[in-house]
Amino acid sequence: MRLNRKTQPKKKDTRRRAPASRRVYERLPLNGLRRHMPRLILIAVLGGLAGWLWQSGSLQRGSDWLVASTYQTTAEWGLAVNEVMVKGRDKTDADTVLSQLEVQRGTPILAFDPQAARQRLEELPWVERAEVERRLPDHIFVRLHEREAMALWQLDRKLRLIDGTGEVITGVEAEGFGHLPLVVGPGAAAHAPEILQVLGQEQALAKQVSALVRVSERRWNVKLANGIEVHLPEENVEAAWRQLARVEREQELFDRDVATVDLRLPDRLIIRTLSGQRPPGPQQNKGTDT
């Protein structure tokens, strides 16, 4: 006879279950965080200390001290300035050059900044451009490109010295440069290089020029040493100047009582004399100054 196994009744679970709303959250173990806590505190303290040192300047001062100490050590090893070589210096005072370099014998050469020294040199009145190099172990090399005085510029009754580009050489007095050509009027400085180059093509005539006056910022009147005034045209200045030089060579125009020579017309010279008489010569015609 087969007997049915009696099903054993299940034991009742007497454990209390937490409500569903409380089972949403978990409590994470803190063992890992506790293990790393000392290291995190150390990092935080060191970070705060570094920030305080930076804000207070102590870190920067410490860094500067380390750099200065390193430079001094290299100087003791022989990397120290012993000589400064300068080429191209003519108008600039030697002591001024050394002052702008901010260097002296024994200065650590690795602490010397060539670019900063170059900028300081180019602030000097006569220095147009400078080149500065460190030549290890102990030399500093300087090449100066100085400006050339080209003319005196008169504006508002003041004289200024200008260079070959028409720029004013600031910080230099005009006295002592009376042998240079004089350009007068607004805009005269900027256009001086061009007109002086044109006049220089006729050397004999150019030597007689005493002043150039810029008229209406468009053209030039040239005053000669003998008192004659030449009115140049606005255009084709070179051709007009060559024409005047040829007439002077062939007819000795300036030996007469000429007051003005007007070259503004391309096909003739218009001359005004001191006496009002027309000077002889096929290329001269009496006229009035306009």
Q: What is the pLDDT of residues 79-108, one digit of tens each?
A: 888 999 999 999 999 999 999 999 989 888
Residue pLDDT, tens place only, 180-222: 999 999 999 999 999 999 999 999 999 999 999 999 999 999 9
CB 150 within 8 Å of CB 197: no
Say what the pLDDT of residue 269 is.
87
3-class SS of residue 74: helix
Tell me which fold the domain 81-146 belongs to. Ubiquitin-like (UB roll) (3.10.20)
- Is the pTM for the entire model greater than 0.85? no
Strands (E), the chain: 83-87, 127-135, 139-146, 149-155, 158-163, 182-184, 209-215, 219-224, 229-231, 258-262, 269-273, 284-286
Domain(s) labelled CATH 3.10.20.310 in the chain stretch across: 81-146
CA angle 15, 16, 17 (to 5 degrees): 115
CB 227 within 8 Å of CB 256: no
Say what the pLDDT of residue 256 is.
86
Arithmetic mean of pLDDT, 47-60? 50
Domain(s) labelled CATH 3.40.50.11690 in the chain stretch across: 149-286
Average predicted confidence (pLDDT) for the chain: 79
Q: pLDDT: is 257 or 144 the higher one?
A: 144
Arithmetic mean of pLDDT, 130-158? 94
Tell me which fold the domain 149-286 belongs to. Rossmann fold (3.40.50)
Of 288, 278, 275, 194, nearest to 241 by C-alpha is: 194
- C-alpha 282/C-alpha 60 separation (Å) is 86
Bridge partners of residue 214, in order along the sequence: 220
Q: pLDDT: is 274 or 241 the higher one?
A: 241
- What is residue 236's DSSP assignment? -
Give yes or no for residue 138 having a pLDDT over 80: yes
Instruction: Look at 7-11, 70-74, 231-235 and tell me which has the smallest mean pLDDT.
Output: 7-11
Give yes or no for residue 41 having a pLDDT over 60: no
Give yes or no for residue 276 having a pLDDT over 80: no
